[in-house]
């Protein structure tokens, strides 16, 4: 098995994202806006929010952190779902923990869930559905860990989207 330069793989994917954003802006589009909701005092979540802001700034994405009380989070997410200036939403968990956090994941609109944690995306992942036909064939978002695995496999030449589903992973 060849040694994987994960940094190089991540840079390639990041370069793809940056190029797509810059191409959109160059043709008169607006920079995408990501809104992160922090509704807890968790130090790790706060650090993750800082890292998200740094990554967005570096990659040309507008980022806004909204600190809300956890009991107001549902309403705040629903307002962001309806805001045409917001392209993506993420929530820094844990908020309540357990089933209430599961519910909050599903409050985020499928069209604005950037983490792929909404029930529709989780269902699609488990059933190997890549396009959401009920959303005009919108591509299904994969949660970051499975997506990272696929990007690394693709970088290694071990994952080929051109092949039929079920035969896309190859031995290297």
Strands 33-38 and 62-67: parallel
Cβ contact 66:89 at 8 Å: no
- Of 11, 20, 144, 149, the catalytic one is 144
- DSSP strands (E only) in the chain: 33-38, 62-67, 88-92, 131-132, 138-139
Annotation says 144 is catalytic: yes
State the Cα–Cα distance between residues 88 and 71, nearest whole angstrom. 21
Query: How far from each other are the two terminal CA atoms of the chain, in whole angstroms?
Result: 7
Residue labelled with tokens 């989207």: 161
Cβ-based neighbours of 65, under 8 Å, separated by 6 or more: 35, 36, 38, 49, 53
How many CA within 13 A on the CB side of residue 66? 21
Give the residue numbers annotated as catalytic, written as ranges. 144
């Amino acid at each position: 098995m060849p040694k994987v330069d994960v940094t190089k793989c991540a840079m390639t994917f990041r370069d793809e994202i940056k190029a797509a954003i810059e191409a959109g802006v160059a043709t008169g589009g607006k920079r995408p806006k990501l809104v992160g909701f922090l509704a807890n005092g968790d130090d790790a979540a706060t650090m993750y929010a800082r890292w998200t802001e740094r990554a967005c700034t570096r990659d040309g994405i507008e980022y806004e952190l909204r600190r809300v009380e956890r009991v107001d989070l549902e309403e705040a997410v629903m307002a962001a779902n309806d805001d045409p200036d917001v392209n993506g939403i993420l929530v820094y968990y844990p908020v309540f923990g357990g089933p209430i956090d599961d519910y909050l994941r599903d409050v985020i609109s499928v069209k604005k869930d950037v983490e792929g944690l909404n029930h529709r995306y989780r269902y699609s992942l488990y059933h190997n559905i890549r396009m959401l036909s009920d959303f005009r064939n919108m591509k299904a978002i994969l949660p970051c860990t499975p997506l990272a695995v696929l990007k690394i496999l693709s970088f290694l030449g071990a994952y080929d989207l051109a092949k039929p589903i079920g035969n896309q992973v190859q031995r290297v």
